[in-house]
Structures are given as C-alpha cells and as structure tokens.
Structure 1
Amino acid sequence: MLLEKDPYHAFMPYEPIPVASASDGPLSGLTLGVKDLFDVAGYRTGCGCPTRLATSPVMTRTAPAVQRLLDAGAQFVGKTHTDELAWALYGMNAHFGTPVNPAAPDRIPGGSSSGSAAAVAGGLVDIAVGSDTGGSIRAPASFCGIWGIRPTHDRIPLDGAQALAPSFDTCGLFARDGNTLLRGMEVLAGPDTAPLPNAPELLWPTEMHAQLGEAQSALCSAAFDGLTAREVSVYPDGVEAAYATYLTTNGADCAEAIVPYIRASGMPLVRGIDGRAAAAEALTPEEIATARSARAAFRVHVESVVGEGVLLAPAVHDAPFRLDAPVEVFDGFRHDAMRLLCVAGMSGLPQVVFPAGKVNGAPYGVSLIGPRGSDLSLISLAIQLTAKDMP
C-alpha cells in the first residue's frame, strides 16, 4: 500500500509500487482502493488466498475496470483485503485477518469486499472497487455505514478479475457519499442505457420488508418517510423457493468457475468454503437445470414488477453482528441476509445501498433496486431521497 498507516487493516501489506494515473480527469483528486481480486500492473493478485498469492505472477496489465478509473485521474493507494476467493459475506479472512469496521469496531465489516468498505468508511480512500456476487458490496456498505452499488449485471467488464459465479459476478464501487459514488460510476459504467423517468413509480416489496425486525423496519420506514409507494410481490413462489433457487444456481456457477481451482491446487479449506464447495459439487444436472429455469422465471417476474419503477428495499435484514458472536449467529446470519440480497442478484438488476441509521449502535442501510441499465439515475434518485428533495 502507498499509505503510511492503515489503522483499519484494510490493505494487503504488499510492497508499495506506484501505479500511473492520468494527471487530469473527472476523478482527479480522488484516491482509490482496489479489491485484491482485480489485477493491477506491478502487483500480484492474491484473492485472499495464500495458495493463489504464492503462485500469482506479478501482473503486467491492469483490469480494464480499474484502468478506467486510473485513466480518469483516480490515484491508486493500494489493494484491499477480501474474503478468501471472495466466497463469504462476513469479511473475516482466516489467513490475512479481518479489517476493522470503522463505524463499529466490535462488529464484522462484511465481505467479501471488506477491505474496500473499511478503507472508504475509515477515510483512507475516497472510492474503492469491490465485487458483488451474492452481496459482497451491498452487505459491507450497509454494515460500515457507507454508499455502495451492485451494478446491472454485465454492465462493467470483469476481465482481469477472479471469477466466482459468473452469472452473478459484478464489479461495483464504494464511497462515503452519493455524489462521489455517482462521480465514480459515471466513469466506471458509462451513460445509462435505460435511465429512470423523471418521476419513477415507487414500489414497496412487502415480502422483503416482512423479513425485518421491529427496529430495522422502523429505520426503513423512516428512510422512506413521506413517499407514496405501491405494494408489490417480488418472490413469485415465495421467499424460500427463491432462496433455494439462488443457492442452486449460484452453487452451479461456482462448481464450474472456482471449485476446479480449489481441488486442483490442493489448497487447505477453511470452515465455510469447505461446505460450500462440497455442496456445489453435489448438485445434479437435473437440479441445476430445474433451478436455472426457475431463475429465468424469477428474473422475468421481477423485471415485470419493477418495470420503469424503483423498489424501496432493505439491503440486509440486520446490522452487523459482533465479532465474538456465538457460532449459531455465524451459521445463520448469512442465510437471512441472502434471502434479501438474492432479489437483485438473481434478476441482474442494479441496487444502490445507502445509510439509514443504526440498530443497536451499528450501521444499517437501505436500498433502491431499479431497472436494468438505470444505475446512474438510480444513484441520483437515492441522492435526492436522502436530501429530502423528493415530493
């Protein structure tokens, strides 16, 4: 890293190699962190995995998504920590340690883009690149009290980044405020292909809100106070059916994209990855085909419900839990969060997360989910909402 101090353990302790950026551009004056899942010329790409790091060459080419930001004037500061192979949601790496959540130091930072979220939340960088497969930008944004976006699937190139589950993988950004997030995404994503109308219909996904506790529900209501929204259903066959479809389709992708590396490398498996890899390998062709068909139907349903409107949705079900929480919390929290996160993940729609307040002393975020290709206007709408400029 190119910083003198890293009080939040957000960055990988690589030898500091300066990375060239444009001397002028729309992102001039902004500092940049990059999740160690993306290639940066002059650095190895460790993906949070000691085995991968040991065999990684020094990269000679920077991932195109990162290069866009550098070419726009963003100043590279360092590569940030990630959960191993980006296959987790808590931000706790058994090999390289856990970044500190600057907004709640006794709580998990959220993963797998934990280092990027901590670096932004702690003021070490202005923007940071993360990836989001199952929630790896949206969860840490909520947990660390910052802004983050999972963009429309396939909108931003993932060349030069380790794949996990390609039909879910996305590249997005974190920032401390909406205007900076918008500034970065204008460069990273380019113009919207389907911007929102001037006054999009606002939608209230009842089954998503029904998964919240009293305090979380109150924060969501307060964040969207004064807005008129039509109630809609985004789970055509129920929450559990959608989540089962997510688990199978995501697992099938992982079985093709990352499990072969895990087995061929002989890397030691930590708790969590071992079970997920085994479950992915155990899926049958029939199970996968059925789930992929169900996912296609889910996507059609959600896109039909959203139309040109916007879902006013919780990001996750709760604030981050304590680092010393009992094992039952570690085992269950991820599943509860993913029942909400899977909506944008399976439909491929953009979701922007922003702070709503605190639950039991820790940050909690809410979100907007919009039509495919509406990413920038979705951020703009969130900025208006948080500024209380909406009618």
Structure 2
Amino acid sequence: MPYPAVAVPSAEAGPLAGLRLAVKDLFAVAGYRTSWGCPTKLAMSEAESGTAPAVQALLDAGANFVGKTHTDELAWALYGLNAHFGAPINPAAPDRIPGGSSSGSAAAVAAGLADIGIGTDTGGSVRAPASFCGLWGIRPTHGRASLAGCMELAASFDTAGLFARDAGTLERAAAVLLGPDVADAPAEPRWLMPVDMVARLGPEQRAIYDASFGSLVAEPVSVYPDGGAEALYDGFRVLQSCDAKRSILPFIDATGMPLAAGLDERVAFARGLTEADEAAANAVREPFAAAMDAILGADGVLLAPVVHDAPFRRDAGRAVFDAFRHEAMKLLAVAGMARLPQVVFPAGTLDGAPFGLSLIGPRGSDRRLLEIAGRFFRR
C-alpha cells in the first residue's frame, strides 16, 4: 500500500533477525493507517497509536517491517482482486489471480520483497494464495494466534496466518507467532487419505496429488458430513455470513459505503439470514468438528488438497469467476469448520501455474504439523 514510510522499530537480535516482514492491511501498525482494503475506511482512518500483538511479536523477534499489503475489500473475498486499490501481480504466474484476501502479503513474499508475510485466513485467505503463488503457508488452529488490533470479519473462523518461500522460514516465524504446541504427540504421523476430498480433483490435479503422497501408506477415510461437500460448504457460508452480519454490516450501514460487485451479493445474502439459519448451520458444524477430532486423534495427519485447481487467468470469463470460489470452498471449509490447522506447500504446476497441497492435523498440533511437512515435503 502506498503509505508514507514511517519507522517501525524491531529488535536487533532474535530468531527472525534479518528477515523482512510484510503485513496485511487489516492489522494495526503504529504510525500507519489501516484501510481494510476499503477506501471508505481509509478515509476515516488515523495513524495507529499501537501495533497488533501478532505483528509486534514478529518485530520483537527481529523481523524488519517493509510495508503494509493489499487485501480484498473488508477481507471478504478469495481472489485478490480489489476494485479500488487494484490486484497484486502473482509473481509465480503473472497472468493468473494471486488469491485473496491476503493477496498482497502472498505476492510480496513470492516476489522476494519480503521473507515473511502475515495475513488472515477466514475461509481460505492464506491457504488459497499460498497454493496460487507457490508458497508455504499456515492457517493455525482457530484461536491459536492473537487477532487483537486486527479487523474482524467472522470471529468463529478468523485466524492469523503466515507465508514464506520455504519450510524453514515458516517454521521460524510460526514458532514466534504460535508458541509451543499444547501437548506432545507421537513423532511419526498416522497418514490419512480423505477419499471424498480427493475425489473432487480432476485427473491432472490428482496426478500431482499422487506424485506427492503416493509413496506414503495412508488409511482411506471419508470426512464430509451427511449431505457431502455441499452441506459443509452451505454451513460454512451461513455461519461466516452470520458472523459478518454482526461485525461488518454495521460499518457498511453506518458509512453508507458503495458496494463493489461481489461484495454486494455477499452482503445481501448475510442480511437475509435468520437465527434459525445460524442454528441449522451450527447443527452441521459441531458434529462435523467432533467427527474430525475423532478421525485425527492425537497423531492423524490428513493428506489434503487445498483447492481443486491452479489459479485461473485474470481475464477469465464471468462464469469462471462465479464458479471457482464455490468449488474451492468445498475443500477449504474442512479445516475452517473443524477449527483445525492446515499447512500448505508447493506441489507442482498446472499449465505453468502453481498448485499446492496440504496437511491438516489435530487441533493444537500446528508446530508439529509444520515440522512434519518440512521433513517429508521440503523441496
């Protein structure tokens, strides 16, 4: 974001000394305004007097702040195409979308402008850009990292996540942001293959999946609830929108801000939801989360797709724009609805664009999951 440069102090020594940090423009950074990707919010914003604790922890560990980065408006989208401030270039595939809403942090890391990017992931806003830009990324266990001083979109899903170009840097940054895991777990993972998630991949995507995971002995499991992927996605969509109805719609109504295409549809959907709709969606979420806990136990690791395909072209037709998110969310909703950590890593390319894969682990196993991913899938 083109803000006037302001000095942001960081520790001279620490585990992240010498690494450059890009910060999604949802987090407060002292001396900088915060836009939330929204010109109305930017016009109202004064320079922040303090820094969000998640960002401050990285600075205190020696990371050097290099700038605040673009986000989809109000973080309520998946593609990284902000109608007001523009879309960052995907350095790994310049003709493709970068993914969002943490688009700028992902693009900055992929371009080598930063070594660590901090973003947020509500429905996939770290995981999709990581896959699309050929990066390592993590969506932590829900509630693991502080979101004080950060815009709230959907409190029951929001997480603070990280990007890096390699496993080692991501592990170092996560150690600072997340602290130690809650409990020890067996050193060796019990591999699980989610057959119903994998079935959503096409032949080319499945070939990359098999090349990455095929040598592992994995127990086949089914993860979707009754009603399948559609029921899980519908539940996510309702619950996220109910959260946003409480957090974001009051700001939209108070300011009378114009609604860009896409955002207007999501706002209209949220307005129409009722308490009964929310209760019905929670009746999907809670049994699903309990079932996922039972499948994973203390040592299970799900060999999971991130999204169903590589990023589409920036000049794709409206039909692609409308359909891609719905298919992607049927995979992304698994970790989000179950409040689980998910680590993304580069796995291959499709027609010249990155395609990532991931590991999903038990709640609270974030650091162990990163260690496993780095040990088995570091390239």
TM-score class normalised by the smaller sequence: over 0.9
Inter-partner Cα distance in structure 2 for 1:249 and 1:200: 32
Aligned runs of 1:153-164 on 2, under 5 Å? 153-164=142-153
Inter-partner Cα distance in structure 2 for 1:194 and 1:311: 19
Q: What residue is the counterpart of 2:220 in the other structure? A: 231
Inter-partner Cα distance in structure 2 for 1:96 and 1:218: 37
Does residue 134 of the first structure (1) align with residue 127 of the second (2)? no
Alpha-carbon offset, residue 386 of structure 1: 1.4
Inter-partner Cα distance in structure 2 for 1:327 and 1:236: 31
Note if contact 1:196-1:378 (Cα within 8 Å) is conserved in structure 2: no
Inter-partner Cα distance in structure 2 for 1:121 and 1:150: 18
Question: 1:260-293 CA distances to partner (integer Å, 9 max, x unpaired)?
Answer: 1111111110011101011011011111111112
Inter-partner Cα distance in structure 1 for 2:137 and 2:183: 20
Amino acid corresponding to residue 335 of structure 1 in structure 2: H
Inter-partner Cα distance in structure 2 for 1:315 and 1:211: 11
Match of 1:379 among 358, 362, 370: 370
Change (3 A) 1:210 1:316: same
Does residue 337 of the first structure (1) align with residue 328 of the second (2)? yes
Does residue 102 of the first structure (1) align with residue 114 of the second (2)? no
Match of 2:165 among 149, 162, 176: 176
Inter-partner Cα distance in structure 2 for 1:96 and 1:230: 46
Inter-partner Cα distance in structure 1 for 2:91 and 2:184: 34
Q: What residue is the counterpart of 1:324 in the other structure? A: 315
Amino acid corresponding to residue 284 of structure 1 in structure 2: T
Amino acid corresponding to residue 258 of structure 2 in structure 1: P
In structure 2, list runs of 5 or more residues that go unmatched: none
Note if contact 2:225-2:284 (Cα within 8 Å) is conserved in structure 1: no
Inter-partner Cα distance in structure 2 for 1:202 and 1:194: 19
Question: 1:265-322 CA distances to partner (integer Å, 9 max, x unpaired)?
Answer: 1111001110101101101111111111221111111111111200000000000000
Scaled by the length of structure 2, what TM-score is found? Answer: 0.98
Question: 1:18-49 CA distances to partner (integer Å, 9 max, x unpaired)?
Answer: 10000111110101000000000000000100
Aligned runs of 1:265-280 on 2, under 5 Å? 265-280=255-270
Scaled by the length of structure 1, what TM-score is found? Answer: 0.95
Q: What residue is the counterpart of 1:203 in the other structure? A: 192
Does residue 70 of the first structure (1) align with residue 78 of the second (2)? no
Q: What residue is the counterpart of 1:261 in the other structure? A: 251
Question: 1:336-386 CA distances to partner (integer Å, 9 max, x unpaired)?
Answer: 000000000000000000000101110000000000111111011011111
Aligned runs of 1:284-303 on 2, under 5 Å? 284-303=274-293
Q: What residue is the counterpart of 1:247 in the other structure? A: 237
Alpha-carbon offset, residue 195 of structure 1: 4.2
Aligned length: 377
Kindly report the root-mean-square deviation, in angstroms, between the aligned alpha carbons of the 2 structures: 0.9
Runs of 4+ in structure 1 off by over 6 angstroms are none
Which has the larger displacement, 330-339 or 255-264? 255-264
Amino acid corresponding to residue 172 of structure 1 in structure 2: G
Alpha-carbon offset, residue 128 of structure 1: 0.7
What SS does the aligned partner of 1:85 have? helix
